[in-house]
């Protein structure tokens, strides 16, 4: 199969995704029309997925400096200093469109890709977290995508031996046609072993390692992620990559071994756009040129054309730069790990990417034009003048607080995630101190052999419905919520990664959502002094029915000095006092209860940064010092749901009386179920200690949850009833 040579290359360019103006710009920069191989390369490198055409200017407004920063944006993964000469590398990426077409392989290869990003900087992956969004679970398609994606994540992570330690899943109608599958990986390395991706040293050799190249991924992530999904999605199945976690495991060990032996000059994974992006981006970062000979690339299908080889997105491949005198040693290490490795080119001083097919040159372009001259567009944001999203279907008609709590606990967005987490191995590698459902954040030991000592905590968060209510406030809330999860575990945040999932940015209302959300992220990061170390942008998440909820997903990593003192969420001592910590100003706008009631989106309260910082610090310090026995942030579902979750986790009840002294004078339903994410916590322990950081509202004990508001009993439900609703909410969605 070869690319057709059409008389009208402009039409061919448009067919491949470039606009006519972009093609004119390309011809002007090259001084000629591109050949078929060159056009295929530019169509991907100038795509939204690779070029960030509509978001790069916005991303420059995010804070990216911090005292603990080791690697920032621009590398395969960011990294922060965790002391003792060690660094934690982490990143989150999307695999949305491939997962909407083929959920198992789309999600599995999303995990494989994010793992490669982390070990491409020299860090050993030690944890995976995932953030998933699907349509309402009564939809057969949503259940199919949900079950397939969860199975794909479990298959890849479990097979390669990296624990899946946390994550989140939401079900909302705007994700029906376009699910979101975001994967985050965290890795650990000595700072001395960290490696960058910049190619260097003319005459050095390019070595392609790993799986052979096939057609299974041609145009996959880059093409699928740069266009809206339509009715013919099934025709795109050949563009979804096929993963092999066992091959990746060997590749991972091989790369880390090569780095331990100091045999590599640079290392880069092959993701979107395959050899084209990896080779050109390495050259651009190093200010050099590269020659790539596609005739030397190991193929699965012998009749592949040069343009197919250059843009294939086949999985489990890495590209490295090696000094000629060390080539034999590199190949020997690869042979030891049974990883195929082939020299396919060399670094030059030409500043150009040349593609050879044996002898003939089939592409010759300036690296700068391919990588740095991708057109960047100014957004044309405009706030919508009418609601973008219809109200959800009403599923709750009762106004009884007890029945409301049972309904919330059994709802798909709040029910126990154990049926999902049970598909994953959370403890492989023997680092996990706090696994899913034990604490608000996962906690892992830096040195598992020590049994205790310094640890890191990690969490991933985002609530698209609340961002849809107010993009700026909702995005800031995602940052505060993620930091609150770390605080409840006793961890102080060191860095943040994000994945920005939005609709078509060429539409003014989506551009407005994107612009406002990035501003909210920047504000919250500055308020908490947390740098953004890197991330991903996924646009065009849209179907003929409209855009997804704007969904900025935030992943955060923090540190705590003693793993043995990591926080946990469960009540576990009869008679312990319970306190509410934080300046909690709950609202039902955009809440889970509002959704169950079928209410339209409404403005959410503005976060109070100073109060949030104070509450986070108070809880974090109390956890670290052992002054509280449990800590849990108040999130979706409000205080009542938070209390129920603590009681169910510890299998012990509680009796509380919520004060009504707030100047806002909230209604009982607002106090019980209102939300202000990231701003408050429920903690338990000795009353005298709790009074130092919050307001004591009750005590642990009994076999039911009893909540009064201002001295008036509001609800009482047995743990058995609450537990049944909580456990059954998601379990029924799995077919087995």
- DSSP 3-state of 315: coil
In whole angstroms, what is the distance from residue 39 CA to residue 20 CA? Answer: 13
Helix axes 401-410, 638-650, angle to 10 degrees: 70
Residue owning tokens 């106004």: 399
Q: How far is CA 259 from the centre of its chain?
A: 27
In whole angstroms, what is the distance from residue 705 CA to residue 656 CA? Answer: 8
Beta bridge partners of 631: 683
Beta bridge partners of 495: 557
* Beta-carbon-side half-sphere exposure of residue 703 (alpha carbons within 13 Å): 2
Among the listed residues 49, 509, 632, 669, the single catalytic one is: 49
- Residue 133 near residue 94, CB atoms below 8 Å: no
Q: Which phi and psi (to 5°) does residue 535 adopt? A: 170, -155
- DSSP 3-state of 293: strand
- Residue 611 near residue 484, CB atoms below 8 Å: no
User: Is 703 buried (19+), middle (13-18) or exposed (0-12) by CB count in 10 A?
Assistant: exposed
669 catalytic residue (yes or no):
no
In whole angstroms, what is the distance from residue 695 CA to residue 714 CA? Answer: 19
- Residue 243 near residue 95, CB atoms below 8 Å: no
Would you state the structure tokens that stand for residue 44, as one six-digit string? 């991907």
Helices (H), 411-552: 418-421, 464-469, 471-489, 508-528
- In terms of Cα–Cα distance, which of 566, 700, 586, 693 is closest to 636? 586
Q: Which residues contact 505 (CB under 8 A, 6 or more apart)?
A: 54, 55, 379, 511, 514, 539, 540
In whole angstroms, what is the distance from residue 607 CA to residue 476 CA? Answer: 8
In whole angstroms, what is the distance from residue 305 CA to residue 357 CA? Answer: 9
Among the listed residues 95, 155, 509, 669, the single catalytic one is: 95
In whole angstroms, what is the distance from residue 187 CA to residue 431 CA? Answer: 12
Task: Provide the b/e sequence for 609-640 (b: ≥16 CB within 10 Å).
Answer: beebbebbebbbebbbeebbbbbbbbbbbbbb
In whole angstroms, what is the distance from residue 543 CA to residue 459 CA? Answer: 30
In whole angstroms, what is the distance from residue 69 CA to residue 79 CA? Answer: 6
Pairing of strands 681-685, 712-718: unpaired
Q: Which phi and psi (to 5°) does residue 691 adopt? A: -65, -20
Q: Which phi and psi (to 5°) does residue 258 adopt? A: -60, -40
- Residue 226 near residue 312, CB atoms below 8 Å: no
Helices (H), 267-400: 274-286, 306-311, 327-336, 367-371
336 catalytic residue (yes or no):
no
Residue owning tokens 């919250």: 524
- DSSP 3-state of 325: helix
Q: Which residues are catalytic?
A: 49, 95
């Amino acid at each position: 199969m070869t690319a057709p040579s059409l008389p009208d290359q402009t039409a061919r360019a448009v067919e491949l995704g470039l606009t006519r103006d972009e093609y004119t710009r390309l011809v002007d920069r090259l001084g000629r029309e591109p050949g078929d191989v060159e056009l295929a390369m530019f169509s991907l490198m100038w795509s939204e997925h690779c070029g960030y055409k509509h978001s790069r200017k916005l991303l420059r407004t995010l804070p990216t400096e911090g005292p603990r920063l080791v690697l920032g944006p621009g590398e395969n993964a960011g990294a922060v200093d965790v002391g003792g000469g060690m660094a934690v590398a982490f990143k989150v990426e999307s695999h949305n469109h491939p997962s909407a077409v083929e959920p198992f392989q789309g999600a599995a290869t999303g995990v494989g890709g994010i793992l490669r990003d982390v070990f491409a900087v020299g860090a050993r992956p030690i944890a995976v977290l995932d953030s998933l969004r699907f349509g309402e679970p009564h939809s057969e398609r949503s259940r199919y995508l949900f079950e397939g994606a969860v199975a794909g994540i479990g298959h890849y992570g479990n097979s390669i031996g990296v624990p899946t330690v946390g994550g989140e899943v939401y079900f909302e109608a705007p994700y029906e046609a376009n699910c979101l599958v975001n994967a985050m990986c965290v890795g650990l390395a000595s700072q001395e072993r960290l490696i960058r991706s910049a190619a260097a040293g003319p005459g050095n050799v390019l070595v392609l390692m790993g799986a052979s190249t096939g057609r299974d991924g041609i145009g996959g992530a880059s093409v699928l992620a740069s266009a809206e999904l339509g009715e013919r999605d099934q025709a795109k199945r050949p563009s979804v990559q096929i993963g092999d976690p066992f091959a990746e495991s060997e590749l991972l060990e091989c790369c880390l071994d090569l780095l331990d032996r100091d045999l590599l000059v640079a290392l880069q994974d092959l993701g979107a756009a395959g050899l084209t992006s990896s080779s050109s981006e390495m050259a651009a970062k190093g200010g050099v040129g590269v020659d790539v000979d596609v005739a030397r690339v190991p193929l699965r299908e012998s009749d592949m054309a040069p343009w197919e080889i250059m843009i294939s997105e086949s999985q489990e491949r890495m590209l490295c730069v090696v000094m000629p005198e060390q080539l034999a040693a590199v190949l020997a290490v690869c042979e030891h790990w049974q990883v195929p490795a082939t020299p396919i080119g060399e670094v030059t001083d030409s500043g150009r990417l040349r593609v050879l097919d044996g002898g003939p040159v089939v592409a010759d372009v300036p690296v700068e034009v391919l990588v740095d001259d991708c057109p960047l567009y100014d957004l044309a944001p405009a706030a919508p003048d009418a609601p973008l999203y219809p109200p959800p279907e009403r599923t709750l008609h009762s106004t009884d607080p007890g029945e409301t709590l049972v309904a919330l606990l059994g709802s798909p967005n709040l029910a126990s995630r154990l049926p999902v987490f049970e598909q994953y191995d959370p403890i492989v590698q023997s680092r996990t101190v706090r696994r899913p459902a034990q604490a608000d954040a996962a906690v892992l030991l830096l040195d598992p052999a020590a049994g205790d000592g310094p640890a890191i905590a990690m969490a991933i968060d985002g609530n698209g419905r609340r961002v849809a209510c107010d993009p700026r406030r909702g995005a800031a809330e995602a940052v505060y919520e993620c930091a609150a999860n770390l605080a409840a575990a006793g961890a102080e945040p060191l860095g943040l990664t994000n994945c920005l999932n939005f609709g078509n940015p060429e539409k003014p209302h989506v551009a407005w959502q994107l612009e406002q959300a990035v501003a909210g992220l920047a504000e919250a990061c500055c308020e908490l002094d947390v740098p953004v170390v890197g991330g991903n942008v996924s646009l065009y998440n849209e179907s003929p029915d409209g855009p997804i909820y704007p969904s900025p997903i935030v992943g955060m990593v923090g540190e705590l000095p003693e793993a043995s003192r990591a926080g946990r969420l469960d009540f576990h001592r009869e008679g312990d006092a319970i306190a509410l910590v934080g300046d909690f100003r709950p609202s039902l706008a955009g809440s889970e209860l509002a959704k169950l009631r079928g209410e339209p989106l409404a403005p959410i309260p503005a976060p109070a940064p100073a109060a949030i910082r104070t509450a986070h610090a108070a809880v974090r310090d109390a956890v670290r010092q052992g002054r509280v026995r449990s800590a849990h942030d108040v999130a979706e579902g409000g205080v009542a749901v938070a209390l129920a979750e603590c009681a169910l986790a510890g299998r012990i009840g509680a009796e509380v009386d919520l004060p009504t002294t707030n100047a806002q004078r909230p209604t009982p339903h607002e106090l019980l179920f209102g939300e202000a994410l990231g701003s408050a916590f429920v903690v338990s322990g000795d009353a005298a200690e709790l009074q130092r950081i919050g307001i004591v509202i009750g005590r642990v004990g009994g076999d039911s949850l009893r909540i009064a508001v201002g001295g008036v009993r509001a609800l009482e439900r047995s743990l058995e009833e609450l537990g049944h609703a909580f456990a059954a909410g998601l379990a029924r969605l799995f077919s087995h």
